[in-house]
Structure 1
Amino acid sequence: MEDHDPDQKRRRAINPSYPFVDQAEWQLAEFIVQRLTKTDINKFLKLDWFKTSRSRPSFKSADQLFGWIDVLPSGPQWQSTTFEFIDYTTARPMELIWRDGLEVVKDLFANPIFSNHMMYDPHLVMTGSEREYGEFFTSERAFTIQNDLPEGATIVPIILASDKTPVTRMTGGLEMHPIFLTIGNIQSEVRMKATAHAWRCIAFIPIPKFDAHADYQTLLHARLFHKCMDTIFARCKVATKIGEYMADPMGYIRHCFTPLVAYTADLPEAQLVASKSLMLSGVHQPFWRDWRFADPGYMLPGELLHTCHKFFGDHALKWCKEVVGEEELDACYKAHHKRVGTRHFGSGVSHISQMTCREHRDIERTMIATIAGATNATPDFVHAIRALTEFFYQAQSPVHTDSSIASMVQSLDEFHRLKQGILDAGARRGKRGTIDNFLIPKLELFHSFAGSIRALGGLIQYSADVSERLLITHCKFPFERTSRQAKSFTLQVVQILNRDETMQRFNLYTLLQTHGAPLVNAIAAEDDIVAETDPTLAWIARTLPSQQKRFHGPRPVRNHFITGLLSAEATAAFHVTVAPDRKSFTVPDLQYTYALPDFAVALTEYISKSSQGAPTTSWTCRGGSVRTWNKFRIQLLSNFQSRVVMPSQIVQSYPPSEAFPFGNCDAVLVQLTESNDVYIAQVRCVFQPTAKKGRTLPRYLEAAPLLYVQYFQIKATPADEPSVGMYRVKRIFHQDETGRIFRPGSIIPLTAVTCAVELVPVYGSKMNRTITAANSLEVCDDYYLNKFSDKEVFHTMHTDLM
């Protein structure tokens, strides 16, 4: 952190929190500035509380407090530039509020927070004999640019994002058009988290109302956009031609070049960026025309959030509604089993008039299994939707190889081969009736995905998920802290963003300085597995672990691989709470409460098998007791990046109750040590025998909790039902000597579970309306093993798990 004022630097050597009295006063100042408006701060400081003998802050007003924060060391400064178009006037001046793009790039490139998450050189990553395409620096474009630069040069790839957003509700139209910037040197898993602050807001493009015919408004706005971008990135263009010396996070000076490699935008915004001189948009001087290496053919990659998920909501979902019927589709979605961490559409999916892309994504997960077998859903129709969904899932992979790209292209080709089934079903409809073509602009964009992946790396890193969040944190939230006056709200938002950025820097600086921690973010050895991708929290956790609570960030992923139970090959970690949900149960009580009549028999068989025919006498089903849990957590390593720990998933095993007459129990995949086969099972009970005082239990009873599970039998493979492409399973029933039919159960160790999975009922031509979310896993005959439940599961099952 650099001080430009020698006097402040001298004072801060004595008191790191200067101009504040101490760190406590700084924390108070930071709190009220982040949460109160200027008016509210003045009211707070005038409370009678401060008029008594009680201590009060050394700052007396909001203006004085803001003044102190404004003199703290900060990043690149904001400035204002006014534009005029000859013969075209506006109601208010066209004022661009911006920061110099090159200064922002330098600031990001030198930020010590990211020092352990930086890349500087193109490199090849091989999986067997195949090349991987993941980070930008593994892409073909990185090598092409590097080969055109002087020896020893460093690429600082610029990635931009922008979108217009309304900042007020029901007030008629205050809009903002921010521009965001990050650099490709920062690892994508860090860049993709808005809370990591790897993106910077660098400008607010004016959105004027021109005194001109309505037909010219869009043209003039487009020209203004490109003129503003020219101003913001003028120095970046020069640096791309001749280079610029920059300090990296470790303080080393590098000769850097700043090409624009990617621009994240939805289709209308992308068309604005790629405007051509051939009368397509009226822009004859696009901002990238003189930016070396900038080429819209490369720098506008497929944007997954809008190109894929919004496409699904705008088109594929509507096709399914037309074919299956809204009422039928709603009934099926209402009846899906509820899993913790998964969106459940308890009111159906047809009533939502304005869905977000996140909701589209959640509906995608179960659409194929839901519509399969419906009366009007022909195999070709289902197959086409399935192929399209597979294409979306494959495109979201953070790491690709030539084989995975070929598989993705094959899915798209499969959709085109079968899409006539959608037209034959009459699913494509518009305001004037049935549509007999697929003239959809976004559908054409899908064919660019393979080339973009090879050119720029995984497309998921260029998704608009982050920029959508930045629109909220950098426009809508700050607007709530302004005076909400149309004439000055943009300037006020800029001041708020500048102070927030300054306070974030100063907070980290004072914490490190006060505790004598180094200001260089270096690590001696890299962790074998990574659970924390927030760089600031990771730095503090390593150097000052007791101070982590000082920083408000995303809740860290709890790493159960450190303290939890591990599977035999350490590929999964498990966690149950220290205190069980039921401390002591006799076996008969458990059988009654959980409605598991053969529990004792199954447990006896497990003990006999585990003890090799010599069961222990220290615990028996007749006199022993057990403790039970209603759920457990399972945590896996990422299939794409084996060092990355995924968030844990909850697997439920609740006993029958009034709300869930059959219990509320989830499904899992199981792999037993004596077999390489994988089984599908429903977890009915999580338990562990408890030893009587003075006695010890054998390892097979106390090493880990045990599960009572009921298996499913595979009825059909994906090849047997190619239109759905999933395993179809059925419940297993036995009949005893009295003629009673029941589902048999088995006891397995908790560590035999390999992952949690989702089962979706096979609803058939018309769904049985007695099926509900409370009983859908208990009363249906057949189920689909849903490979679209999440991206990790899809990757596992798409490689033919069983």
Structure 2
Amino acid sequence: TKSVVCLFWRDPVGCLEALFLHPLFHDKLNLVPHRIYHTAENIVHVYSEWMTGDVTWNMQSQLPQGATLLGVMLSSDKTNISALVGNRSAHPLLLSLANIHMSTHLKLSSNAFLLTALLPIPKFIHKNKHMRGLLTDWLIHESFDIVLEPLKQAARLGIMMNDPARNLWLCYTPLASYIVDTPKACMLTAVGGKTSPITTTMYKQFGDPFPHPPWTAAHTLEQLGSVKVLPKNLEQYFNAAQIHHLSSVDKPFWQDFPLSNPSNFLTLEPLHHWFKAFWDHNVCWCINIVGAKELDFRFALLQPSTGYRHFGEGISHLKKVTGCTHRNVQCYLIGVIAGAVPLAIVLVLRSLMDFQYLAQAPELDDNDCNKLLSSLKSFHDNKSHIIAASGCKGKKKKIDNWFIPKHELLQSVVPSICASGASFTADVTKHAHIVVIKYPARRSNNNNLDPQICRYLDWLKKSSKFELATSLHEAQSGRCANNDQSDDEGDDASRPNATNEATCSLAASAGGSVPFPLCSFSIGNTVISLARDPKINQASIDMTSETFHIPDLQSALGDYLHQEAEKAPHTVGGQRCSPDDIWLPFTHLAVWSTLRIQQTAFHTNNITAPQTVFAAPPSSLWPHGQHDPVIFNVDEGKQSFCREVQLIFHALPPHGQRPRWHDRFLMYVHRLDIIPQDGQDCDPITSLHILRRAKRASRAPLGDVIPLSRIRAPLNLIPCFGKTANKQFSYTDSHAYSDEFYLNKYWHKESFYVLSL
């Protein structure tokens, strides 16, 4: 090498024990393999955590009675530290505990991945490029052998560890998951570049519509034993290994790792294997078939949504595209290309989209796995239409094959879920690179970074341990003090503990003086929040009607009050009962332009990120206003409807009066009706609902006033552009001038699960 090679590492068993013993994870651990079923007949198996997979059952059966598994999760990838100054990089090896709940792993603040080694990045002086790559692979595997040897011994003999409750466990530490991209996976398994790292598939078989046998550890070692050339003869050994589809690594690090098999611990995840494949292939197909100019214009016409990137210049010329951009493009693609490409092309892309979205679910059962296989079969049955439409093109000529490694890996997704559970992702490990590499590097003197990073992390570890110990001690001391105080106070201890001025003020206020309506409230699993101060504090009904272009607002309010008096359901539609000049018991409204909605996740009780819904009046930028669609229920009914929010307001009652409607927020909405498709609710090709804007006999939009509390979730609509999008449209008016829309279930994973499962 051009310089001395250094390996910095710390005891991986100590890292694993630190996670196992961490008090913040005491109730976030699975220590016993278990199986979950949807039915009492134990037919439909549910897969979620690593301990619910089939592999853990097989491992547990090989352990002594009373022993437990501590699954090791590894991840390694080069990361740039300074791209412009010095072009420096690091190669961290991250370690985590697979027994920790995946929902905890996915929280960036949990810091569940620890740096256990800084792998060397050598620069070999060999003249042959392939030999330099071979030597690098050898060095990486040799480094893994050194670093992971304590884990191998623990997996072979077992080791005693304490859990956070001070219980002593006999633990075995198999390799449960290694999160890497496809080229790195081939390097780890010691197979050749044109071979699948998980199955025995060669590159000319990557397009086969059926799975091939797994490439097991025994098979790899058998092939290595067939190579008769000594490894010290580099070029001869390299050529001999290529015949057996190997990468020329003579001693894979996992060969003496008990209970570990590459076909099991190489768990597939979205960032490297799906989002990257989507951008490299699916998007390119669409650009080639639709045309870059037309596709860019369609993306530019989409109405912006808070939290999502708006592609005002299209997508065909994007540079430095990240995984976040991949997701933002993916959630719109099906609705954007519908109508511009043949139906068979939409079906191919939709099948892949369904597969990728469903495979990201935090838990899947046998029925979901069958849906994954069905989507994959639909893709293979129709993928020939992509080549027929000249969708596959290289730099110089048309491509007429399916030699795509990431598509072959899709055949291993369902076996991986059944074996090791779901929800493995590289998103957290990418963030961990920032925490354990880039932040410490910024505090260095930019010379000899690796030892400075290690020293900084060692100091940070000691500081965090001291802070955690003192905080736990203070919490325990406070609890003891509270217990002593509660004995003296008697019944007073059961009173609410008002700890801030707002709580004290509300608790001391007289009955009926609490301000209504409350700006934040929950209905079922939905939380709705409005700003404390409205956009318009006080506006007359006529002024509001004129500002928001709602000519029938007064009569709609009259119909709402009539339904309130009759205690009838608040529906949108039907003949208007109230005249335009009906008398109302109020004259002014308080108006909001946005609201925020937060829900619990479909599969778990975790709270999702809040989403913003707009109901903004016309302006210079938005000549027709900015209005977002939502799902709402009628009087707690199970049937849901799609509506477009035009106005969010609160009717201001006369001073001193408290009518029945005084504590309610209201909204004026336009109705959107589902167009049945061949007797189905969804279009069978796009798998999307098609909505049409409902209109009255006068061709005016059909709208009514309903309670804001009926909102259940925000939605995303994509206008039906047809074969060619109207060149006169822009993103500010494409929704206003469109009458038919696709209900975009791919906008958010939660909306996909609700509308698909």
Tell me if both proteins adopt one fold, taking TM over 0.5 as the criterion: yes
Does the aligned pair in 1 maintain the 2:629–2:717 contact within 8 Å? yes
Kept after mapping to 2: 8 A contact 1:139/1:457: yes
CA contact (8 A) 2:347 2:685 kept: yes
Corresponding position of 1:763: 721
Match of 1:481 in 2: 443
What does residue 190 of structure 1 align with? 104
Does the C-alpha gap of structure 1 residues 233 and 621 become closer, same or farther in structure 2, counting only changes over 3 Å?
same
Deviations 1:591-630 (A, max 9, x none): 1111100111111111101211899xxx953742221111
How far off its partner does 1:504 sit? 2.3
Which amino acid in structure 1 is aligned with residue 110 of structure 2? Answer: A
- Structure 2 CA distance, aligned partners of 1:484 and 1:130? 56
Aligned to 2:363: 399
Other structure's SS at 2:63 match? coil
Task: Confirm or deny: 8 A CA contact 1:167 1:476 kept in the other structure.
Answer: yes
Partner of 1:774: 732
Structure 1 position 353, deviation (Å): 2.3
Q: Is the 8 A contact 2:80 2:88 kept in 1?
A: yes
Query: Which of 667, 679, 682 is residue 707 of structure 1 equivalent to?
Result: 667
Kept in 2: contact 1:584–1:625 (CA 8 A): yes
Alignment of 1:488-503 (within 5 A): 488-503=448-463
1:436 aligns with 2:390: no
Distance 1:94 1:623, change over 3 A: closer
SS of aligned partner of 1:685: strand
Partners of 1:544 and 1:622 in 2: how far apart?
38
Tell me whether 305-314 or 333-342 shows the greater mean CA deviation. Answer: 333-342
Are the structure 2 counterparts of residues 173 and 594 from structure 1 closer, same or farther at C-alpha, using a change threshold of 3 Å?
same
Going from structure 1 to structure 2, the CA distance change for 1:384 and 1:102 (only over 3 Å counts) comes to same
Once the two structures are TM-superposed, the CA of residue 513 in structure 1 deviates from its matched residue by: 3.7
Quick one: distance in 2 between partners of 1:150 and 1:471? 37
Deviation at 1:226, TM superposition (A): 1.0
- Of 79, 104, 126 in structure 2, the residue corresponding to residue 212 of structure 1 is 126
Match for 1:585 among 539, 542, 553?
A: 539
Displacement, 1:518? 7.9
- Give the AA of the match of 1:426: S
Counterpart AA for 1:199: F
2:594 is aligned to 631
Paired with 2:165 and 2:325, the residues of 1 have a C-alpha distance of: 42
- Greater alpha carbon shift after TM alignment, 232-241 vs 783-792: 232-241
- How far residue 519 of structure 1 moved from its aligned partner, in angstroms, is 11
Partner of 1:540: none
Whichever residue aligns with residue 154 of structure 2, its letter is A
Provide Cα deviations, 1:64-84, integer angstroms capped at 9, x if missing partner.
xxxxxxxxxxxxxxxxxxxxx
- Which deviations, in whole Å up to 9, do the C-alpha atoms of 1:353-401 show, x marking residues without a partner? 2211221111000000000111xx1111111011111111011011000
Aligned identity (percent) is: 29
8 Å CA contact 2:530, 2:595 repeated in 1: yes
Indicate how the Cα distance of structure 1 residues 585 and 307 shifts in structure 2: closer, same or farther if over 3 A, else same. Answer: same
1:566 aligns with 2:522: yes
1:366 aligned partner: 332
Amino acid in structure 1 at the alignment position of 2:247: S
> In 1, distance between residues paired with 2:405 and 2:728?
42
Contact 1:719 1:725 (8 Å CA) reproduced = no
Match of 2:49 in 1: 135
Rounded to whole Å, the distance in 2 between the matches of 1:185 and 1:101 is: 16
1:512/1:519 contact within 8 Å kept: no
- The 3 A distance-change label for structure 1 pair 613 and 311 is closer
Which residue of structure 1 aligns with residue 530 of structure 2? Answer: 576
> What corresponds to 2:259 in structure 1?
293
What is the Cα deviation at residue 640 of structure 1? 0.8
Q: Matched residues in 2 for 1:428 and 1:474: separation?
A: 40
1:200-230 per-position Cα deviation (integer Å, ceiling 9, x unaligned): 0100110111222322111111111111111
Measure the CA separation in 2 of the matches of 1:258 and 1:622.
72
* 1:423 equivalent in alignment to 2:387: yes
The alignment covers a number of residue pairs equal to 655
User: C-alpha offsets along residues 417-448 of structure 1, whole Å, 9 cap, x if unaligned?
Assistant: 11011111101000221101111011100000
Q: Are 2:587 and 1:621 equivalent residues in the alignment?
A: no
What does the per-residue CA deviation read over 1:158-215, in whole Å, with 9 as the maximum and x for residues that have no partner? Answer: 0101111222213464221110000012111111223211110100110111222322
- Give the deviation of 1:634 after TM superposition: 1.7
Counterpart in the other structure of 1:229: 144
Q: What do the CA deviations read for 1:763-788 (whole angstroms, capped 9, x no partner)?
A: 11111122222112211121100010
Residue in 1 that maps onto 2:283: 317
Contact 1:587 1:622 in 2 (8 A): no
Choose which of 157, 164, 171 in structure 2 pairs with 1:242: 157
Partner of 1:471: 433
| 1:645 alignment counterpart | 607
Q: Work out the CA distance in 2 between the residues paired with 1:500 and 1:597.
A: 63
| TM superposition shift of 1:720 | 6.3
Match of 1:663 in 2: 625
Gaps of 5+ in 2: 191-219, 228-240, 481-496, 501-517, 569-576
Cα 1:544–1:577 change in 2 (3 A) is closer
TM-score under structure 1 normalisation? 0.79
Q: Are 1:707 and 1:750, in contact at CA under 8 Å, matched by a contact in 2? A: yes
Cα distance in 1 between the residues matched to 2:163 and 2:682: 56
Q: 1:435 to 1:249 in 2, by over 3 A?
A: same
How has the CA–CA distance of structure 1 residues 628 and 645 changed in structure 2, closer, same or farther, with 3 Å as cutoff? same
Contact 1:587-1:621 at 8 Å conserved across structures = no
Secondary structure in structure 2 of the residue aligned to 1:167: strand
Q: Output the CA distance in 1 between the equivalents of 2:478 and 2:72.
A: 29
Corresponding position of 2:574: none
Match of 1:271?
Answer: 186
SS of corresponding position for 1:742: coil
Alpha-carbon distance in structure 2 between the residues aligned to 1:117 and 1:518: 24
For 1:532, the equivalent position in structure 2 comes to none
